[in-house]
Amino acid sequence: MVLAVGIMSGTSLDGIDTALVEITGVLEKTRVKLVDFATKPYPKEILNQLHHALEAESVTVQQVSSLNFQLALSYAAVVKELCEQNQLTTGELAYVASHGQTLFHQPETLGDFPPSTLQLGDAGVLAQLLQCTVVSNFREADMAVGGQGAPIVPFADFYCYQGNKDRILQNIGGIGNLTWIKKGGSPADVVAFDTGPGNMVINELTRHFYDEAYDHDGKHAANGQVLPELVNHWLSLPYFAQPYPKTTGRELFGKTFVAKIIGENFEIAPDDLIASATMLTAKSITQACAQLTTEPCELIIAGGGAYNPVMMAMIRQTVDANFIVKTQEDLGFSSDAKEAIAMVILAQHTLQKIPNNVPSATGARKPVVLGRVTWA
Amino acid sequence: MVLAVGIMSGTSLDGIDTALVEITGVLEKTRVKLVDFATKPYPKEILNQLHHALEAESVTVQQVSSLNFQLALSYAAVVKELCEQNQLTTGELAYVASHGQTLFHQPETLGDFPPSTLQLGDAGVLAQLLQCTVVSNFREADMAVGGQGAPIVPFADFYCYQGNKDRILQNIGGIGNLTWIKKGGSPADVVAFDTGPGNMVINELTRHFYDEAYDHDGKHAANGQVLPELVNHWLSLPYFAQPYPKTTGRELFGKTFVAKIIGENFEIAPDDLIASATMLTAKSITQACAQLTTEPCELIIAGGGAYNPVMMAMIRQTVDANFIVKTQEDLGFSSDAKEAIAMVILAQHTLQKIPNNVPSATGARKPVVLGRVTWA
């Protein structure tokens, strides 16, 4: 049993999640216990730089290079704080598993550009600041063997959730993604893909209309009215009909998409747009579930969306009868901590050189070892 | 004894150097034998993208991310070819040590931007394409502990060249850098710094005036006349008087600098400018040497500049009498291969978690392990 910290900062930019865990074993012998968890916002200045890098037409290479180093400083500060609160020094950690901040992710060839992905938050800087081994860069190897480099959480999900019933794990972060773990299945049976937007469209709308980072407790959605025609129009986007495995991101459902929504619907009340965007996420999830199985199945919701009661109600309202909807918390796990814990589980396998992608989820031609190791 | 390949592609963009070596041991037991060496130009399309990324005001994050992946493809192709020519598969290599292509390097804080460095050519992609362990990213850890992230070759130089006489190893790539290895000294006694431009200014001039990538055999320099006032004017730049450790790059002696030279001296014949730029490199080296030691010392020239007979003549002509000037080839080593071999020596220590920076050369606060490990 060793202590390790997982760091996740998702596309929604809502902060840096850090999970302190006890972990032992690999594959079916993997055992993980969450010791502590914290989410800290990015420092304002870093957040501004990230928004610029993600949204501007172009950046300077100095900005990219500098962000790579500065993000590592931000991560290190959050990990140190978590360790201090648990009377630990970072040097006592066996390792830190860091996802990094995705600056760009393009799973398919687009024009002259082959698939590629770019996560920042330099592992060398992080390892030195923490005086501890860092495992990072969990997407590139999968893409090098034809995979989409995403999703990467299903590997961890399989070893945490495989059991005596079918389970669909739905994470609602910036993007929504699901993992279907079949009763009695093997890792090769895992189905996983991005369902579409998670909170990304909603957050962009609350930022635009209210200067609020997200729809706290779903209050705007609750105050608005879902416009079914609008929701169905959005659901007619080709992405939702595309067969899995598939991944999406800010490129499809980011600022450009939301600017278009706002421009096309200026006569609609902001809260109606937010309610409709909430329903878009809910229906994109429940439609995807309905297409997967008609057998009894647990649908377990995690991520920020699990804390939006309006979204949870919409999921329960639109899901087929064979599903029992739960939240991650109902199972005794922290919803927020799930992805950060998954990074630790991936890293535990990286360090043992055990392949830890799920080709059935990413579309990769073969299993590969995700991640790379930087010693302090 | 294992087989390994080192990959170096310098700031001059004159190609991808790959060295196939046999290596055994670490520290004073390090023994290296060069088996084969090749330099291949970048594919034209990649070269164009690199020039754009290095010289344009700004880039898109897609361009940066894509270059990171595409450079790995270029590196993999060159390594495969080298292995094939030696009846090897890349899977038989113990590891590949890849420097990556520097897109940005800022060793000091500049305005709002803290020091950072960015090398592209993704290790995860490379490891998968070659089916072999990759060690990469040799600069970040040093910068995280206050170093300049450069030079990184002195560590290898020390274990290859330490002996019964003082030696100064001068590499003339895009930038010129020297390493002073004292007779009977330890790694902590190593002095190393960038002397100033190597071939960078010359190459930019031949590209501008003749559409030639470099001054082949120094023919333009030989055809021109050195203008001492011009050379002395350039040598009055603050960089040359700055105390070591110090590093420089494209930011100071790149396209902007050369555009200024051309703009200010439009009445001067191109070959006179090239001859003067060649003397600038020669004198910046011999002045630096003169300030270091008046004891008997070997000055060993490596890198592309060693093949420019005019530059070699200028060095011999301006160097103090206590120096014996040799080329790397005189010592039975390939000049071109030196940096690629150095990457292998660094990686050999990374894999054993042995610190491999030289704080006296980089200015780092302490020894750290440079490099990170990606398994296939």
- Domains of chain B, by residue range, sit at 2-149+337-374, 154-331
How far is it, in rounded angstroms, from Cα B148 to Cα B102?
Answer: 14
Confidence at A10, pLDDT banded by 50, 70, 90: confident
Confidence at B23, pLDDT banded by 50, 70, 90: very high
**Residue B142: closest CA among B336, B350, B340:** B350
CA distance readout (Å), B101 to A139, A235, A374, B89, B98: 20, 43, 19, 24, 9
H or E segment to which residue B3 belongs = strand B2-9
Confidence at B298, pLDDT banded by 50, 70, 90: very high
Q: Give the chain B residue nearest A60 (alpha carbons).
A: B58
Which residues of A fall within a CB distance of 8 Å from B137? 123-124, 374
For the CA atoms of A290, A291, A294, A299, what is the dihedral angle to 10 degrees?
A: -50
How far is it, in rounded angstroms, from Cα A59 to Cα A51?
Answer: 11
The confidence score (pLDDT) of residue A164 equals 85
Considering only CA atoms, give the Rg of chain B.
20
CA distance readout (Å), A200 to A194, A241, B65: 13, 20, 22
Q: Are A108 and A115 in contact (CB under 8 A)?
A: yes
Give tens-digit pLDDT for A256-306: 999 999 999 999 999 999 999 999 999 999 999 999 999 999 999 998 899
Which residues are CB-neighbours of A259 under 8 A, at least 6 positions away? none
Query: Would an 8 Å CB–CB cutoff place A104 in contact with chain B?
Result: yes
For residue B306, the Cα-to-chain-centroid distance in whole angstroms is 13
Query: Would an 8 Å CB–CB cutoff place A51 in contact with chain B?
Result: no
Give tens-digit pLDDT for A167-216: 999 999 999 999 999 998 888 899 999 999 999 999 999 999 999 999 99
Q: Which amino acid is at A116?
A: S
- For the ranges A336-340, B28-32, B66-70, B252-256, the lowest mean pLDDT is seen at A336-340
Query: Would an 8 Å CB–CB cutoff place B58 in contact with chain A?
Result: yes
Q: Are strands A16-24 and A116-120 parallel, antiparallel or unpaired?
A: unpaired
CB contact under 8 A, A118 and B143: no
Per the document, the length of chain A is 376
Query: Would an 8 Å CB–CB cutoff place B19 in contact with chain A?
Result: no
How far is it, in rounded angstroms, from Cα B293 to Cα B165?
Answer: 12
SS3 B273: helix
Give tens-digit pLDDT for B79-102: 999 999 999 999 999 999 999 999
Per the document, the length of chain B is 376
What is the DSSP track for B336-356? TTHHHHHHHHHHHHHTTT---
The confidence score (pLDDT) of residue B235 equals 97
How far is it, in rounded angstroms, from Cα A127 to Cα B67?
Answer: 25
pTM of this prediction?
Answer: 0.84
| CB-based contacts of B160-167 (< 8 A; 24+ apart in sequence) | B160/B30, B160/B32, B160/B333, B160/B345, B161/B300, B165/B296, B165/B297, B165/B298, B166/B293, B166/B295, B166/B296, B166/B297, B166/B298, B167/B297, B167/B298, B167/B299, B167/B300
Q: In CATH, what class is A2-149+337-374?
A: alpha beta
A17 is in an annotated binding site: yes
Confidence at B330, pLDDT banded by 50, 70, 90: confident
H or E segment to which residue A338 belongs = helix A338-350
Let me know if the fold of B2-149+337-374 is the same as that of B154-331.
Answer: yes
The confidence score (pLDDT) of residue B223 equals 97
How far is it, in rounded angstroms, from Cα A275 to Cα A215?
Answer: 10
**Residue A289: closest CA among A204, A169, A120, A124:** A169
CB contact under 8 A, B69 and A376: no
Number of Cβ within 10 Å of residue A47's Cβ equals 16
**How many cross-chain Cβ pairs, A to B, lie less than 8 Å apart?**
154
Average pLDDT in the A229-244 region? 96
Phi-psi region of B121 (alpha: psi -120 to 50; beta: other; left: phi over 0): left
CB contact under 8 A, A144 and B129: yes
Q: What are phi and psi for residue A294, nearest 5 degrees? A: -110, 5
Query: Would an 8 Å CB–CB cutoff place B156 in contact with chain A?
Result: no
Token pair 């290479």: residue: A61
Q: Give the chain B residue nearest A106 (alpha carbons).
A: B62
Q: Where are the beta strands (DSSP E) in chain A?
A: 2-9, 16-24, 31-40, 95-106, 116-120, 134-136, 166-172, 175-181, 191-197, 297-302, 323-327, 372-374
Query: Would an 8 Å CB–CB cutoff place B360 in contact with chain A?
Result: no
Query: Would an 8 Å CB–CB cutoff place B172 in contact with chain A?
Result: no
The answer to whether residue B111 scores a pLDDT higher than 90 is yes
CATH of the domain spanning B154-331: 3.30.420.40
Q: Are A261 and A201 in contact (CB under 8 A)?
A: yes
CB contact under 8 A, A125 and B140: yes
Which segments of chain B does DSSP mark as H helices, in order?
44-55, 61-85, 123-130, 140-144, 154-161, 200-210, 219-223, 228-235, 238-241, 250-253, 255-264, 270-292, 309-318, 338-350, 359-362
How far is it, in rounded angstroms, from Cα A4 to Cα A20?
Answer: 6
The confidence score (pLDDT) of residue B178 equals 94
Q: Give the chain B residue nearest A70 (alpha carbons).
A: B114
